[in-house]
């Protein structure tokens, strides 16, 4: 059986997760603006890689959120 | 959620039994409250992340549609006699609503660009005597021959119209997204 965390531990964990999620979202915002700029300038080479990277970032964020809810169920 | 741990100490520092009745009836579990607020904010940030990903795929879809539009029409814009050296002429290409401007920079050179400024889409004005296109909205400036931004807020060049000169007439044959 998995060990449940104390309140202090959960607070620390959620602060850590929130920091990581915010960093990833800022990265995605930068990626979106850079891709839009390239697309409007006629550069198509980075559109596919940028979409895939953004999808990976979303997957990471969803994984972290899932971990949070899993932690609460313990 | 397990709540076996003690709740927040009341602000007056007295024990829970000494607290007024209203606080005993409606105790606020501050650590839990903070935890839930941060969890909900994390959820909101993940939704924002989803929105950015959707935006990326929207750009991908727009790019796919742009490619599928296929060949641009070939259209006569003007005859050589219609345009003197240093003169300019506006025209619609590929549709009538997409305004472009044709400039004759010297005896044999014709250039044409979209009239939409790449900053905030104001109409640029050709100034052949100064060798530039000027955007009056924010004092943006583009080179008359290459379409590259030379001053002001625009960072991307004007979209170039491909031209062909044959049998005494100037034809538009396509668009280039960039002149970079």
Nearest-CA distance B22 → chain A (Å): 25
Q: Are residues B41 and B114 in the same domain?
A: no
Domain membership flag for residue B158: yes
Domain membership flag for residue B124: yes
Rounded CA-CA distance A22/B43 in Å is 11
Domain membership flag for residue B101: yes
For B118-176, how does the pLDDT look when each residue is reduced to its tens digit (9 = 90+)? Answer: 999 899 999 988 889 999 999 999 999 899 999 999 988 999 999 999 888 999 998 88
pTM, two decimal places: 0.68
Q: B42 at the A interface (CB within 8 A)?
A: yes
Predicted confidence at residue A19, as pLDDT, reads 97
Rounded CA-CA distance A10/A12 in Å is 5
Sign of the CA dihedral running A58, A63, A68, A70: positive
**B28 CB-near residues (< 8 Å, 6+ apart):** B8
Q: A13 at the B interface (CB within 8 A)?
A: no
Q: A67 at the B interface (CB within 8 A)?
A: no
Calculate what percentage of chain B has a pLDDT beyond 90: 43
Interface test with A, best of B55, B63, B158 (most A CBs within 10 A): B55
Task: Please report, for chain A, the start and end positions of each structural domain, with discontinuous segments joined by +.
Answer: 7-73
Q: Are residues B38 and B104 in the same domain?
A: no
Q: How many domains does chain B have?
A: 2
Domain membership flag for residue B59: yes
- Read off the tokens for B24: 């005993």
Q: Are residues B35 and B84 in the same domain?
A: no
Predicted confidence at residue B25, as pLDDT, reads 83
**ipTM entry:** 0.93
Contact A14 B50 (CB under 8 A): no
Domain membership flag for residue B3: no
Domain residues for B54?
Answer: 16-68
Rounded CA-CA distance B1/B42 in Å is 18
Domain membership flag for residue B1: no
How far from A65 is each of A8, A15, A57, B63, B97, CA to CA, in Å?
Answer: 19, 12, 12, 32, 47
For B92-116, how does the pLDDT look when each residue is reduced to its tens digit (9 = 90+)? Answer: 988 888 899 999 988 888 999 999 9
Closest by alpha carbon to B102, among B79, B69, B136?
B79
């Amino acid at each position: 059986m998995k060990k449940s965390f104390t309140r202090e531990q959960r607070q620390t964990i959620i602060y850590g997760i929130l920091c990581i999620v915010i960093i990833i979202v800022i990265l995605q915002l930068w990626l979106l603006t850079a891709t839009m700029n390239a697309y409007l300038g006629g550069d198509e080479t980075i559109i596919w890689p940028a979409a895939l990277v953004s999808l990976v970032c979303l997957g990471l964020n969803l994984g972290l959120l899932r971990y949070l809810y899993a932690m609460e169920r313990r | 959620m397990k709540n076996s741990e003690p709740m927040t100490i009341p602000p007056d520092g007295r024990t829970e039994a000494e607290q007024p009745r209203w606080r005993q009836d409606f105790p606020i579990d501050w650590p839990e409250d903070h935890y839930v607020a941060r969890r909900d904010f994390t959820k909101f940030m993940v939704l924002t992340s989803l929105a950015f990903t959707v935006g990326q795929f929207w750009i991908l879809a727009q790019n796919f549609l742009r490619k599928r539009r296929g060949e641009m029409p070939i259209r006569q814009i003007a005859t050589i006699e219609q345009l003197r050296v240093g003169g300019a002429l506006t025209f619609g290409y590929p549709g009538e609503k997409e305004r472009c401007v044709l400039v004759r920079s010297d005896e044999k050179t014709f250039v044409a660009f979209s009239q939409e400024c790449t900053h905030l889409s104001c109409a640029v004005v050709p100034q052949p005597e100064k060798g530039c296109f000027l955007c009056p909205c924010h004092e943006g400036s583009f080179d008359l021959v290459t379409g590259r931004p030379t001053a002001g807020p625009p960072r991307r060049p004007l979209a170039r119209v491909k031209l062909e000169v044959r049998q005494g007439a100037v034809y538009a044959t396509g668009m280039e997204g960039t002149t970079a």
